Amino acid sequence: MEPEPRRLLIFDLDETLVHASELALAHPCDFDVGTYLVYQRPFVRELIEFAAARFDLAVWSSSSAAYVAAVVEHLFAGVPLRFAWSVERCVQRVDARSNSYVYIKDLRKAQKFGYTLGRMNIIDDSAEKIARQPHCHLPVAPFLGASDDVALLEMRQALHVLLGHDLSVTDR
């Protein structure tokens, strides 16, 4: 029997893996992109390495292409990605309540890489951006730069469950 194909795990960037601000926080930033000071969420590299061993990875952000490329270069150095998409791949929708735009990440666009929707998940702090495929969403609380944040440790446990594994002592 052939093993099941790997799942595709898509990461959002801003407020999921990093927090970018033009204003400095109480602790030093990890890197900068243009005028933005970028703060990595605690345990981001550990989660990426854990996920890379078990999933195919991608990035999809509603930020600019240049910003996405710069952040991906820092966070995913040496980790292969199926794609790194920016706002240009999002579907722009008017939000009548706020009279502004929402950028929707329609995961059907990633099916061209050979994944069914049932084999894709996206880690994102914003449920409204995943409104077309809410069953694929792995929600995470927004990251605003706190150095004591542990949400990515909890996400690692959620990925174990997604893969159907018990979190054993050897995997911690």
Has residue 143 got a pLDDT over 90? yes
Q: Is the dihedral of CA 31, 36, 40, 44 positive or negative?
A: negative
User: What six digits make up the tokens of 32?
Assistant: 């900068």
pLDDT, tens digit, 9 for 90 and up, residues 19-68: 999 999 999 999 999 999 999 999 999 999 999 999 999 999 999 999 99
Place 98 in a pLDDT band, splitting at 50, 70 and 90: confident
Q: β-strands 120-124, 137-139: how paired?
A: parallel
Place 2 in a pLDDT band, splitting at 50, 70 and 90: low
User: What six digits make up the tokens of 90?
Assistant: 């999002």
> Where in the chain are the domains?
8-165
Cα 151-156-91 angle, rounded to 5 deg: 75
Q: Are 18 and 44 in contact (CB under 8 A)?
A: yes
Assessment of whether the complete model's pTM goes beyond 0.85: yes
Out of 3.40.50.1000, 2.40.50.100, 3.40.47.10, 3.40.120.10, the CATH code matching 8-165 is 3.40.50.1000
- DSSP-derived letter for residue 78 is T
Has residue 126 got a pLDDT over 70? yes
For residues 135-139, average pLDDT: 96
Has residue 146 got a pLDDT over 90? yes
